[in-house]
Amino acid sequence: MNPITTAASAFVAIWNGVAAEDVIVFLQYSWVVGHLLGSVLLGSALWRARVIPRWAAGLIIIGVPLQMVAYPTHQGLFQQLGFALVCIGSIPAARAMFIDPKPAAVAR
């Protein structure tokens, strides 16, 4: 018997056993929901705070529906496009963290 085939069969059996656990399924779904919701909240906060251009915040928000389509359909193109939009929108956000043109507001 081929040791690679045996190891692969054992791995598949373990993987299927772990993936069938309710806790693992719950963690997987909660990660997906939290990941998508977090991106929408981040984009919305950046939009409202006007710390970056609105087009950049919009790209972060628009990337979420593409990722939502990608998860159930297993279409990698949608996932890549969604992440690319988030990445492009995040560049101005990263710059805004390092460039602070306004002094911090003084609490009164």
Provide the pLDDT for residue 14: 83
Provide the pLDDT for residue 17: 82
Contact in structure between 86 and 98 (CB atoms under 8 Å)? no
* pLDDT tens digits along 36-72: 899 999 999 999 999 899 999 999 999 999 988 888 8
pLDDT higher than threshold 60 for residue 85: yes
**In Å, what is the CA distance from 32 to each residue of 28, 56, 88?**
6, 22, 21
Provide the pLDDT for residue 101: 63
- Separation CA 62–CA 56 (nearest Å): 10
pLDDT-derived band of residue 108, with 50, 70 and 90 as boundaries?
Answer: very low
